[in-house]
Amino acid sequence: MSANKNTASTAIFYRQVRDFVEKTPVWGMAIRYQSKPDERFDMTLISRRVYGRPDEFLVVMAAAGLDSVEQELPEQLLVLPTESQLLTLKTSARFGSFG
């Protein structure tokens, strides 16, 4: 996969997660996670706690509306996709090994 295609897939995936967060109603299927003080500068902690692996930090960034991993994550309730929803979003965006 070329760097441009990978960048495009990443941008599409990020936007899809943002759309998911913005469009999921309070009663909708999703993971709700209250971020903690120790996670302010390490979104991999949330990824580990929610998904059991550190590599979903981009999902956390998108859910929080952050533009970079250097930004501070304020304590907030995050709406995150479930594992099956995450797989659907990744496949649709051709993100990661699904591209």
pTM above 0.85, yes or no: yes
In the prediction, which pLDDT does 1 show? 38
Q: Which pLDDT belongs to residue 97? A: 60
Q: What's the rounded Cα separation, in Å, for the pair 29 and 33?
A: 13
Query: How many other C-beta atoms are found inside a 10 Å radius of the C-beta of residue 9?
Result: 18
pLDDT in tens, the chain (99 residues): 334 457 899 999 999 999 999 999 999 999 999 999 999 999 999 999 999 999 999 999 999 999 988 999 999 999 999 999 999 999 999 997 644
3-state secondary structure at position 12: helix
pLDDT for residue 5: 54
